[in-house]
């Protein structure tokens, strides 16, 4: 690559208590094939209480391309905005601390962004377990399954460049933030989804490229999966307090499903003829989960993954749906 023709890039990494992952994440950007003098890495730390800050400071002492910024409010969109405001690159990248990028990640993103003219480009997530237990492996596969994540193409993959409503993390033109503003700091979760939808509604173009890949380390226990997806589901609905339609319709499918189970389940207690269609739907759902779980275990040749995958699907769907239900009830109560 001719560095004289390439733009400077800024990588922003919000982090808090990520001592197990932060060094690997930062180095994946520093040790890439993009010209080193055109890279800056900004770690915005939410006042970590483990060794995260010391690790980043040590890296920054060896490499002046790395900057540590404090995020005293410990909220992700605030971290993202602090990073953007401190950055100097023509293209702004975001990354989770649990992610690693291949050596060609930056160069491919910049190339595709320039050639396509897109406002935001991204790639397909390769989800791997943080802990290589049966549960951890099963959860990582559930999070890559169409039955698990629905229409999230960046998780299930695409065969050609595809316009989408969001991409993981993203590579943005700097002028995007001048045009539509910054991340909504009132959205504790899903701020990237809302920002990308705002970008699309303003006429922006977001493209997912199949030849761009990144690695994400997924949660590896059912409790972690439940807590994360309950929070995501909650903020899909709760976020409407602070933004107009901060989600796509696919994000409320788990809410509709959980609402169906609860409402029809209660009605079937007093209305017997409702029980048959209700049980048919549940049977169909369980059959789909078993088929998908069996497929995971057969592909990997590990029968021990069948049950954890089955449970993982249920946890993913129900936690997200119940989180959204809580968000709706709170909205109704607040409006009342």
Q: Which two tokens stand for residue 111?
A: 């190339």
Please report whether residue 263 resides in a domain: yes
What span, in angstroms and rounded, lies between the C-alpha atoms of 110 and 114?
Answer: 6
Domain boundary among 62, 91, 116: 116
Is 307 part of any domain?
Answer: yes
pLDDT score, position 247: 63
**Residue 20 placed within a domain:** yes
Among residues 87, 116, 145, which one ends one of the domains? Answer: 116
- Model pTM? 0.82
Domain annotation covers residue 225: no
Q: What is the DSSP letter of 216?
A: E
- Choose one of 116, 151, 184: the last residue of a domain: 116
Tell me if 223 is assigned to some domain.
no
pLDDT number for residue 309: 96
User: What CATH code is carried by the domain that includes residue 79?
Assistant: 3.90.550.10
Residues of the chain with pLDDT under 70: 1-4, 151, 242-248, 334-336
Q: In whole angstroms, give the CA distance from residue 173 to residue 81.
A: 15
Domain hosting 86: range is 1-116
User: Which residue in 292, 150, 141 sits closest to 220, CA to CA?
Assistant: 141
Number of structural domains in the chain:
2
Calpha distance 139→130 (Å, rounded): 10
pLDDT of residue 246: 55
With respect to residue 234, please indicate whether it lies within any of the assigned structural domains. no
Q: Residue 133: which residues within 8 A CB-CB, separation 6 or more? A: 220
The DSSP output letter for 282 is H
What pLDDT, on a 0 to 100 scale, did the predictor assign at position 4?
Answer: 52
Residue 323 within any structural domain of the chain = yes
CA distance 87 to 90: 9
Does residue 98 lie within any of the structural domains? yes
Read off the pLDDT of residues 217-242 as tens digits, 9 standing for 90 and up.
888 899 999 999 999 899 888 777 76
Residue 159 has a pLDDT of: 82
């Amino acid at each position: 690559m001719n560095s004289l023709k390439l733009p400077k890039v800024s990588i922003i990494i919000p982090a808090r208590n990520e001592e197990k992952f932060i060094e690997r994440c930062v180095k994946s950007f520093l040790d890439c094939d993009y010209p080193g003098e055109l890279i800056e890495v900004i770690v915005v730390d939410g006042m970590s209480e483990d060794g995260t800050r010391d690790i980043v400071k040590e890296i920054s002492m060896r490499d002046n391309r790395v900057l540590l910024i404090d995020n005293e409010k410990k909220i992700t969109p605030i971290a993202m905005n602090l990073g953007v405001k401190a950055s100097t690159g023509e293209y702004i990248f975001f990354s989770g601390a649990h992610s690693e990028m291949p050596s060609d990640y930056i160069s491919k993103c910049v190339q595709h962004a320039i050639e396509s003219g897109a406002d935001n480009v991204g790639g397909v997530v390769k989800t791997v377990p943080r802990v290589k237990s049966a549960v951890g492996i099963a959860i990582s596969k559930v999070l890559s399954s169409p039955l698990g994540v629905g229409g999230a193409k960046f998780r299930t993959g695409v065969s050609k460049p595809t316009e989408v409503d969001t991409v993981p993390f993203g590579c943005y033109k700097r002028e995007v933030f001048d045009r539509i503003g910054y991340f909504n700091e009132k959205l504790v979760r899903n701020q990237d989804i809302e920002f990308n939808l705002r970008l699309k509604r303003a006429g922006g173009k977001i493209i997912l490229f199949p030849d761009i890949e990144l690695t994400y380390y997924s949660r590896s226990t059912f409790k972690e999966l439940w807590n994360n997806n309950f929070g995501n589901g909650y903020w899909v609905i709760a976020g409407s307090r602070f933004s107009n339609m901060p989600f796509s319709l696919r994000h409320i499918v788990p809410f509709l499903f959980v609402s169906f189970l609860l409402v029809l389940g209660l009605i079937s207690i007093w209305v017997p003829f409702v029980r048959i269609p209700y049980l048919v739907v549940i049977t169909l759902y369980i059959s789909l989960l078993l088929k998908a779980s069996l497929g995971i275990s057969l592909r990997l040749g590990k029968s021990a993954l069948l049950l954890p995958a089955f449970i993982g699907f249920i946890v993913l769907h129900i936690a997200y749906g119940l989180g959204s239900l809580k968000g709706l009830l709170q909205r109704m109560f607040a409006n009342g």
